[in-house]
């Protein structure tokens, strides 16, 4: 997949975020393809993030690792508590649009964080 570090993780290592994106985004919210071939990479930092790239348009969606693993659903974890303190609902999974890609979509979505359900609705509207 080029030198950008994105790859499919269909084996044991990395399979949890791969299965998450494949299951929850069967249609790309930026280009509308019904056959997105999502590749992933992890960005390490203060809050580790999973980055997901659509092979059709090149858009990149990201979410905190704890979001895609489901560990942010309760305030009993440090990251869940931080999520609640930031004003977000623990029951909702949040994604950020890091890149809109080459699809004909407005740049309005770039760097915007939104609930997963909103991104799924956006995909369905294309």
Could you report the per-residue pLDDT of 20-57, keeping only the tens digit for each? 999 999 999 999 999 999 999 999 987 889 999 999 99
CA-closest candidate to residue 53, choices 29, 71, 77: 29
Query: What local confidence, expressed as pLDDT, does residue 1 receive?
Result: 44
Query: What local confidence, expressed as pLDDT, does residue 17 receive?
Result: 92
Query: What local confidence, expressed as pLDDT, does residue 15 receive?
Result: 87
Domain boundaries along the sequence of the chain: 15-125
């Amino acid at each position: 997949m080029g030198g950008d570090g994105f790859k499919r993780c269909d084996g044991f290592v990395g399979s949890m975020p791969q299965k998450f994106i494949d299951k929850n985004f069967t249609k790309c919210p930026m280009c509308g393809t019904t056959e997105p071939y999502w590749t992933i990479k992890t960005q390490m930092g203060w809050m580790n993030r999973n980055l997901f790239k659509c092979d059709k348009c090149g858009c990149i969606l990201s979410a905190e690792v704890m979001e895609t693993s489901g560990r942010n659903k309760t305030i009993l974890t440090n990251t869940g508590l931080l999520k609640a303190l930031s004003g977000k609902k623990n029951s909702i999974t949040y994604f950020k649009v890091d890149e809109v890609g080459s699809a004909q979509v407005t740049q309005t979505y770039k760097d915007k964080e939104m609930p997963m359900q909103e991104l799924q609705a956006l995909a369905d509207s294309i």
